[in-house]
Amino acid sequence: MARPSPYRRAVLAMGPGAVDRQTLREMVEFARLLDLEMLGLFVEDETMLGLADLPFARELRLPDHAWHRFDAGRMAAELDAAAAEARRLFEQESAAHGLPRRFEIRRGDPAAVLGTLAATDILVVGEPESGAGMATTTITRVRRAALQSSATILILPPVAMVGSGPVALLAAGTSDPAFALASHVAAAVGEELVMVASPGDVSPAELVACFDRDLHRGHERLVVMARGASGLSEEAMLKLAAARCVPVLVIEAPGRKETPPGNDTASAGRRNPSR
């Protein structure tokens, strides 16, 4: 299918214990529909690694429920094992579709991963798994930074992607910066484009009601909007995805410049790249 210009790649940030098969499958389906390359980024949080050098830092270990000093070697080994498992799952879920893909490990501030992306990337934002603090903190920091940034993001709902239905565009009209992309996406997936009108500064519940009204309580396949549409908050975007059970594609803020080629490691270290 035709690729929705100007986007070229779907990017998923992963961390220790935070790799979810459902999120991977929905990312692969999105990339397949829109003919995007895929990049899996395993983020090694430098903050957690730095704790091993602090003499007063302790961790609670099972099964003895006792406090122990951080073991740098043990932590490094656990990260290597987690990265290997993330790579295995990424390859397993994506290989069947034959799409171009890469898996990379980057060490640094999890939020700084956004600085390594180009304007042609779409960062996939899923619900982080509950569990170990290190896993939750790493992915939650990426997620929070993505919502607050100017980057283009795909917010995945907690449930599976809807298989068919119109592409819903939250916009004031055809002059909206998201209109061209939404039209291209609708054509690429062979679905109708439906405009959803919303007054400014609505609550999350009022926003969901606008979709119920304009879509006649049907289910769209995807929602497309520009950042700042109708004065929406980060909470509204997340609740819309969860309430409508569909992905929400939020396009970049106007004026964001693409990262120059060869400069995608400025904010985070890269190691072990692979196809």
Residue position matching structure tokens 């961790």: 59
Whether the Cβ atoms of residue 107 and residue 76 lie closer than 8 Å to each other: no
CA angle (196, 197, 203) in 5-degree steps: 100
Domain ranges in the chain?
9-59+74-152, 167-251
Percent share of the chain, pLDDT over 70 = 73
**Which class is domain 9-59+74-152?**
alpha beta
In angstroms, rounded to a whole number, what is the distance separating the alpha carbons of residues 47 and 138? 9
- Residue 93 contacts by C-beta under 8 Å, 6 or more apart in sequence? 21, 24, 25, 28
In angstroms, rounded to a whole number, what is the distance separating the alpha carbons of residues 126 and 23? 6
Predicted confidence band of residue 131 (pLDDT cuts 50, 70, 90) = very low
Predicted confidence (pLDDT) per residue in 6-51, tens digit: 899 999 988 876 677 888 888 898 898 888 999 999 988 766 665 6
Out of 3.40.50.720, 3.40.50.300, 3.20.20.150, 3.40.50.9100, which CATH number does the structure's domain 167-251 have?
3.40.50.720
Give the CA distances from residue 49 to residues 29, 43, 101, 139, in Å, rounded to whole numbers and listed in that order.
34, 12, 28, 15
Mean local confidence (pLDDT), 168-172? 85
Mean pLDDT score of the chain, rounded to an integer? Answer: 77
| pTM of the entire predicted model | 0.79
Q: Is the pLDDT of residue 249 over 80?
A: yes
First to last CA, the chain: 22
In angstroms, rounded to a whole number, what is the distance separating the alpha carbons of residues 158 and 142? 17
What H or E segment, with its residue span, contains residue 40? strand 37-45
Whether the Cβ atoms of residue 221 and residue 194 lie closer than 8 Å to each other: no
Q: Which residue has the higher pLDDT, 33 or 70?
A: 33
